[in-house]
Copies of this chain bind each other. A is one copy, B any other.
Amino acid sequence: MVEENILKELSAKTDSKIVLVVLDGLGDLPNAGGKTALDAAHIPNLDQLAARSVCGLTDPISRGITPGSGPAHLSLFGYDPIKYQIGRGVLEALGIGLELTCDDLACRGNFATIDTDGIITDRRAGRISTETNEQLCALLQKEITEIDKTKVIIKPGKEHRFVVVFRGEGLEDGITDADPQLDGKKIKYAESLRAESEKSVHIINKFIVRCLEVLKEEHPANAILLRGIAKHPNLPSLQELYKLNPAAIAAYPMYRGLARLVGMSILETGETIADEFVTLRDNFQNHDFFYLHIKKTDTYGEDGNFAAKVKIIEEADQYIPALLELNPEVLVITGDHSTPAALAGHSWHPNPFLLYSRYIRVDEVRHFSEKEFVKGGLGRFPSTDAMPLMLANALKLDKFGA
């Protein structure tokens, strides 16, 4: 990808519309019968579209590197995933649906059990129920709303996990975990790794002390551990960079959060794929870039459930005709990374990438599959090139040089 400053200079506002459909973890590995989920799925609409498109395979980071959801998405949105790394605390906050501002410092938290000497006897407080967690977070939030003029926001996750967000001016990351990572150790306070984060460390450690006071009589959750302390990454927005008015349609909070980080409007939608496509249709006149995220291809990949992954792909296939009726100038259908059922997790394998527009050289691909896309006219390329390709095909990029 050329530098984002160059793209920024070349980008032009137009009425043309781009739709980017991300089937999370779409790429797969062959099963015992030699078929990937895409090979096994009956997807006449995607196959037909592939025959009229130009296709290829993308690497989110680099060959051999397995990406998390954060870097994989940033890459697709045109951000160098090495330059812009999103901290764990921020991703966790996005994952449970917290809306972050640029001033925020976010941390992952555990409820834990300590003995009278302050030694951790259980880093997960016996995996307390999510209900107990919710009660404890409510209690902490009632007692602690602000420290040194910094707002404190506490939100429960599942079981023993929660998120704390510190919101205020002058907060910085570069802070050690306040978590020794092992039972049998004393609880640990945060430490600063650079001068700029000293104020934040002070606030975080005051917060820990206050929590220990509030939780003193609780059992087993009488302490907290904080880790992944990270500042909002403050990315340049897609408006700033490419003059887009982008919108996100995503049923899962994490992906709405990632979209918000790059300046997308979040469109309210329902739980199903059908809901998401209705949302797209209903809002099609209001934006010029749509990111539509389908989660369950990844979920079933992570579960190692090949058959269910096949079904979700088949379900998504049904919405292609209606999508084409909207007549976007550019349509991309791809994955953010591969999640092969055979590995039950993310992997390093490249992603099928389909681009449909008026201005393409249709290639010899006739089926939507990993193997067919090897022959695709787009070849193999870094995911960060997806954004320039979409902008170009929407005639939103001027000429470089004279």
Query: A residues touching B (Cβ–Cβ < 8 Å)?
Result: 1-3, 6, 10, 29-30, 34, 36, 57, 61-72, 81-82, 85-86, 88, 91-92, 340, 342-343, 345-349, 359-364, 370-371, 374-381, 385, 387-393, 397-402
> Are B65 and A10 touching (Cβ within 8 A)?
yes
Give the copy number.
Answer: 2
CB distance from A40 to the nearest CB of B (A): 14
CB contact under 8 A between A29 and B402, given known A82-B6, A397-B65:
no
CB distance from A327 to the nearest CB of B (A): 18
Pick the 3 closest A-B CB pairs, nearest first.
A64-B388, A68-B401, A379-B380
> Are A392 and B64 touching (Cβ within 8 A)?
yes
Q: Which of B2, B64, B85 meets A401, CB within 8 Å?
A: B85
Q: Provide the residues of chain B in CB contact with A391, threshold 8 Å.
A: 64
- A66-B400, A347-B392 given; name 4 further pairs at CB < 8 Å: A3-B82, A63-B381, A364-B371, A379-B379
Instruction: Tell me the nearest residue of chain B to A362, going by C-beta.
Output: B30
> Are B385 and A63 touching (Cβ within 8 A)?
yes
Bound-complex Cα distance A36 to B68 (A):
41
Q: Which of B64, B67, B374, B390 meets A389, CB within 8 Å?
A: B64
Bound-complex Cα distance A385 to B380 (A):
14
> Are B374 and A359 touching (Cβ within 8 A)?
no
> Are A399 and B2 touching (Cβ within 8 A)?
no
Task: Name 13 interchain pairs, CB-CB below 8 A, sorted by A.
Answer: A2-B65, A64-B388, A64-B390, A64-B391, A65-B388, A65-B397, A66-B399, A67-B401, A81-B401, A86-B401, A348-B392, A348-B397, A380-B381
Q: Provide the residues of chain B in CB contact with A68, threshold 8 Å.
A: 399-402
> Are B1 and A62 touching (Cβ within 8 A)?
yes
> Are B388 and A63 touching (Cβ within 8 A)?
yes
Q: Provide the residues of chain B in CB contact with A347, threshold 8 Å.
A: 359, 392
Q: Provide the residues of chain B in CB contact with A62, threshold 8 Å.
A: 1-2, 385, 388
CB contact under 8 A between A364 and B374, given known A63-B381, A399-B68, A402-B69:
yes
Q: Provide the residues of chain B in CB contact with A82, threshold 8 Å.
A: 2-3, 6
Instruction: Tell me the nearest residue of chain B to A345, going by C-beta.
Output: B399
Which of A349, A370, A402 has the most chain B CB atoms closer than 10 A to its own CB? A402
Q: Provide the residues of chain B in CB contact with A378, threshold 8 Å.
A: 63
Q: Provide the residues of chain B in CB contact with A63, threshold 8 Å.
A: 1, 378, 381, 385, 388-389
Q: Which of B34, B387, B399 meets A346, CB within 8 Å?
A: B399
Instruction: Tell me the nearest residue of chain B to A390, going by C-beta.
Output: B64
CB contact under 8 A between A30 and B361, given known A381-B63, A401-B86:
yes
Q: Provide the residues of chain B in CB contact with A361, threshold 8 Å.
A: 29-30, 36, 349, 370-371
CB distance from A239 to the nearest CB of B (A): 19
Q: Provide the residues of chain B in CB contact with A85, threshold 8 Å.
A: 401
CB distance from A79 to the nearest CB of B (A): 12
> Are A343 and B363 touching (Cβ within 8 A)?
no
CB distance from A302 to the nearest CB of B (A): 12
Bound-complex Cα distance A124 to B114 (A):
79
> Are A374 and B385 touching (Cβ within 8 A)?
no
CB distance from A359 to the nearest CB of B (A): 6
Bound-complex Cα distance A91 to B347 (A):
38
Instruction: Tell me the nearest residue of chain B to A337, going by C-beta.
Output: B399
